[in-house]
Structure 1
Amino acid sequence: MKIELANSYGFCFGVKRAIKIAENAKDAATIGPLIHNNEEINRLKINFNVKTLEGISEITEEKKAIIRTHGITKNDLSKLKNSDIKIIDATCPFVTKPQQICEKMSKEGYDIVIFGDENHPEVKGVKSYADGKVYVVLDESELDNIKLSQKVAVVSQTTRKVEKFMQIVNYLMLKTKEVRVFNTICNATFENQEAVKELAERADIMIIIGGKNSSNTKQLYLISKNFCNDSYLIENESELNEEWFRNKNHCGVSAGASTPDWIIQNVVKKIEDFKN
């Protein structure tokens, strides 16, 4: 059986940057999980004493607070700035961008439409920067009963699919006079999605590696499943099942943007062991 890695996969720029920041910080606490990968968070805890708090309300005697890659709300950031704790900002620059856009455009009188998951920490943070009306949607149909102003600015969660974002943009262009479109989807996300599609079309089994609470990893899995029915989403090699690989000739492997190389290598090694 041939094992092939996607042309683009794994750690993105923002995650690499956040990991390095956390390793250099040591003895610090992140506000929410730094990234959506439990294995890597455990490594940071064991090797660098970087612990995870669910929110700023859990801060007690911590001296250093690391802001997660997904960012935090404007209100929480303000509270941190008014405390004695040292703030270390690991927010991905690609996430900071839509925060700034929402703040600026809402002050200029635009209604804000965010394409994304309202319950995702990145979207919660981005939404908090809008001063006026702001709507979070996953589908253009959700805008049907919303009375928008004639000036709308639209941004996207960084890990969403470009095609769906374009559908929402097209809908808004027909519904309102002025639409300002800001493509805030991360290039790494787009490249990983294109690469998994290309590989899934050729493979007869696909293994997608990443946190099951990771938005970009779930998107990779869904794309893969569209083109290769035998697609599996796993967090580490312990979840692999040898039965999956029986009578398979071509195994494709991809990984989410929060998945470290050491986990990917462990998965590939175990698949290779199945072959022997």
Structure 2
Amino acid sequence: MKVRLASSYGFCFGVKRAIKIAEGYQDSATMGPLIHNQNEIDRLKNDYNVGLYNNLTDVKPDDTVIIRTHGIPKDDLKNLRQKDAKVINATCPFVTTPQQIVKKMSEKDYSIVIFGDEEHPEVKGVKSYGKNQDDVHVVLTPKDLDKVSFKYDKVATIAQTTKKKEVYLEIVNNLILKNKEVRVFNTICDATFENQDAARELSKEVDIMVVIGGKNSSNTKQLHSICLESCKNSYLIENSSELDSSWFKNKTLCGITAGASTPDWIIQQVVNEIEKY
């Protein structure tokens, strides 16, 4: 079986930075999963004794707490500091930026629109920086805007860092048609653009695509969706144990891409296994 890797894939800057931070604080714990990849979280636990807090109540004074790459809500961060815990902020700078945009624009009396998944930890954190939570609106499609009522006649919009730029453009166009003033901030990170474009091009050239990453990772699911547009034989797996040899029957060229939270060692294991077919 021949394997071709996408021209851009895998760990983004924010994830590399967060892992390096975590590796520098043995016997610490992260507030929520550091990244959306259970295999890498297990490695940090086994090799560096980096644990996991699921609730603020688990944190004790003097504990070392690492903030996840996706960030946490503003009040949670405030409560952590009040516990006298040692707080290490590994929030991706590309996530910190929309947090500050929401804070600044809502203080200037702009209604806020966030293009993203309401239940995603990044979006929860970003939304928390709005002055008036009732006027911070999270949408996934332009149609969702039909149900939104703004407090002000000025609107500021940002996007979850891993979302599709094409859909964001549709949402922006919808807002411009219906509002007097719209401030648009392109907060989708470059790494997401590059990985998505590379996956789109590769999926047109291969018989089968394998997308490697966490099943709960937004950017990985986006990659899988993009690959399916051009290659119906596209599969999303977390590691090599999920590969099925039947997928490769009568196929000669396999394309591989990986989400922003997928480490190189998992990608290499998948490549090695596919090449055996």
Q: Deviations over 1:6-56 (max 9, x none)?
A: 000000000000000000011101000000000000000000000111131
Q: Secondary structure at the match of 1:247?
A: coil
Superposition deviation, residue 150 in structure 1: 1.3
Q: Which residue of 2 aligns with 1:145?
A: 147
Q: Deviations over 1:136-163 (max 9, x none)?
A: 0001111113222310000000000000
Q: Deviations over 1:222-274 (max 9, x none)?
A: 10011100000000000011111111021000000000000000000000112
Contact kept? 1:36, 1:211, Cα under 8 Å: yes
Letter of the 1:100 partner, please give it.
Answer: Q
Q: Report the CA distance shift for 1:88/1:53 in structure 2 as closer, same or farther (over 3 A).
A: same
TM-score, normalised with respect to structure 2:
0.97
Letter of the 1:49 partner, please give it.
Answer: N
Pairs within 5 Å for 1:12-23: 12-23=12-23
Letter of the 1:146 partner, please give it.
Answer: V
What is the RMSD of the two structures over their aligned residues, measured on CA atoms?
0.9
Counterpart selection for 1:183 from 172, 181, 186: 186
Provide structure 1 residue ranges, at least 5 long, that are not aligned to the other structure: none
Pairs within 5 Å for 1:73-112: 73-112=73-112
Aligned residues: 274
Letter of the 2:24 partner, please give it.
Answer: N
Pairs within 5 Å for 1:107-126: 107-126=107-126
Q: Which residue of 2 aligns with 1:211?
A: 214
Q: Which residue of 2 aligns with 1:43?
A: 43
Superposition deviation, residue 173 in structure 1: 0.1
Query: In the aligned structure 1, how far is the partner of 2:61 from the partner of 2:265?
Result: 33
Provide structure 2 residue ranges, at least 5 long, that are not aligned to the other structure: none
Q: Which residue of 1 aligns with 2:69?
A: 69
Counterpart selection for 2:165 from 125, 137, 162: 162
Contact kept? 2:59, 2:85, Cα under 8 Å: no
Superposition deviation, residue 95 in structure 1: 0.2
Consecutive aligned runs of 4 or more in structure 1 exceeding 3 Å deviation = none
Query: In the aligned structure 1, how far is the partner of 2:86 from the partner of 2:47?
Result: 21
Letter of the 1:134 partner, please give it.
Answer: V
Superposition deviation, residue 63 in structure 1: 1.4
Superposition deviation, residue 60 in structure 1: 3.7
Superposition deviation, residue 206 in structure 1: 0.3
Letter of the 1:45 partner, please give it.
Answer: K
Q: Deviations over 1:163-197 (max 9, x none)?
A: 00000000000010100000000100010000000
Percent same amino acid at aligned positions?
61
Superposition deviation, residue 84 in structure 1: 1.3
Letter of the 1:120 partner, please give it.
Answer: H
Contact kept? 1:140, 1:167, Cα under 8 Å: yes
